Amino acid sequence: MLEFISHSKVPVWGEMDILVVGAGSAGCLAALAASQQRKYRVMLVERYGFPGGTSTQMLDTFYGFYTPGDSPKKIVGGLPDTIVNELNKTGDIFLRPNTYGAGTGVNYNPERLKLVWDQQIMAAGIQFLLHTTLVDVSLEESGQTSCIFWNKGGFFKVKAKRVIDASGDADFCHLAGFSYEIAGELEPAQSMTTTFRMSHVDLDKYKAAGGNAMLKEKMKTAVERGHPLPRKEGSVHEMCQTGCVSTVAVKVGDLSALKPEELTQAEIEGRKQAFIYERFFRAEIPGYESASIIGLSHQIGVRETRRVYGEVRLSKEDCLAGHMPEDRILLCGAPMEDHRKGKDGEDETAWQYIPGQGVYGVSYGTIVPKNSERSWVVGRCFSATHDAHASCRSMAQTMAMGQAAGLAAALSLEHDTAAAQVDHRLLQDQLLRLGAVLEIPTPLADTRRDGWGSLL
């Protein structure tokens, strides 16, 4: 608890059954799932002016719906599908293979996605508050959790029977006293990335000149001849908007996103790197002669900070063994994708694939903070080791975690049980009714450009 805030003097804004902190892909799904029955008062609070978190702040591709390789299976379903279906209605998606083989991604228009999140949240009757940041937490004698927020109106508190931490940085768990690991403490943390979007790229010319393979080669030779490019690799892909590309290439390491001075430094460095790439692309890459940056990510992309210790901790061994725990709430087939320095000190990215069937299940206990009675933790701060997190942090999986937590919170209210005591069979029944995937499906998914929703 923050000592300078006198909790008794902070006005009460209202009481909620289920409060979700953070409207990223995990938080939006948690709120939508929690309000499925239209039985509980559900509130979703977000510090920025739009929903989506990383999905709309910096990205444009959902990974994790499909397994990688030549026999793709669709392994996430339910409410996450409804988001993609909405985008599909207006022609705002296409499927594309991942440059480095992490499986087919669902490429979307991130600006349209903000609208879709808004519409889904409002249609579900969720109390939605933007530009509002969680700053403190205390436990009330009544058993409710009191969450103190700050916005331009001042400080206020919301009393909630159940809380889902979807803040990405585990702000709620940190303030409520749950234990966690900070990325970088035990193992090197994943680096941060400012993504950027460029317009006026002649993609036909780019492809005719060799496309991504040509780009990789040119970046490599440029670095070797002493060009100030930050690194030799990076992912460039077309967007839904004609002639526009999105680039994930900037790499800022060895700074903590939890320390504001370091995060400031990271933002400045990320922007600097983005414009070095712009200069390089325009000068050296066929098709980019008239291109320019039209948008930097809303903030630098943060891959990991706090990872909460849960009732269960997903480990590298679980992933590599294709472990299917009985109480699984979602499936994942993404490789461990590690963005950090290699042994030779080079800043590149390493992939380690899931062997065998290429899929593992994620236990319900990974979204329940250890010793938690009434809270859950979802998305990039869920309970996993560094390596396991590097596999299970794609947005299809973070949405699936949110879906499970929202249903679990509602179940725990219905049966008056603690988070860890929620009957996983009831939870799985509800997940399956919504369309979640808990067994590896047999049919192959159609991963052609317009194949969303079809099987081969």
Ligand X SMILES: Cc1cc2nc3c(=O)[nH]c(=O)nc-3n(C[C@H](O)[C@H](O)[C@H](O)COP(=O)(O)OP(=O)(O)OC[C@H]3O[C@@H](n4cnc5c(N)ncnc54)[C@H](O)[C@@H]3O)c2cc1C
**What is the C-alpha separation between 160 and 394, in angstroms, rounded?**
29
Nearer to ligand X, 112 or 202 (CB): 112
Contact pattern from residue 38 through residue 77 relative to ligand X, giving x for each residue in contact according to CB under 6 A and a dash for the rest: -------xxxx----xxx--xx-xxxx-------------
**What is the C-alpha separation between 289 and 423, in angstroms, rounded?**
59
Among 86, 136, 169, 181, binds ligand X (CB under 6 A): 169
Only one of the segments 72-80, 160-168, 323-331, 404-412 lies at the binding site for ligand X (rule: CB under 6 A); that segment is 160-168
Contact pattern from residue 211 through residue 250 relative to ligand X, giving x for each residue in contact according to CB under 6 A and a dash for the rest: -------------------------------------x--
- Find the radius of gyration of the CA atoms of the chain: 21
Minimum CB separation from ligand X for residue 106, in Å?
9
Q: To which residue do tokens 């040509």 refer?
A: 214
SS3 call for 276: helix
Minimum CB separation from ligand X for residue 178, in Å?
15
Contact between 205 and 287 under an 8 Å Cβ cutoff? The reply is yes
Only one of the segments 196-204, 298-306, 417-425, 431-439 lies at the binding site for ligand X (rule: CB under 6 A); that segment is 298-306
CA 218 to chain centre: 31
Among 157, 197, 231, 303, binds ligand X (CB under 6 A): 303
Nearer to ligand X, 118 or 326 (CB): 118
Q: Give the neighbor-by-neighbor strand order of the sheet with 292-296.
A: 235-238, 245-248, 196-199, 292-296
19 is an interface residue for ligand X by CB under 6 A: no
Contact pattern from residue 182 through residue 201 relative to ligand X, giving x for each residue in contact according to CB under 6 A and a dash for the rest: -----------x-x------
Closest CA to 170 of 413, 367, 7, 4: 367
CA 298 to chain centre: 15
Strand pairing class (12-21; 42-45):
parallel
Contact between 68 and 353 under an 8 Å Cβ cutoff? The reply is yes
- Sequence-distant (6+) residues with CB within 8 A of 213 are none
Q: How many chain residues are in contact with ligand X, going by CB under 6 A? A: 39
CA 354 to chain centre: 20
167 is an interface residue for ligand X by CB under 6 A: yes
Contact pattern from residue 88 through residue 127 relative to ligand X, giving x for each residue in contact according to CB under 6 A and a dash for the rest: ----------------------------------------
Can you give the binding site for ligand X, defined by CB under 6 A? 21-27, 45-48, 53-55, 58-59, 61-64, 133-134, 166-169, 171, 193, 195, 248, 301-303, 379-380, 393-395, 398
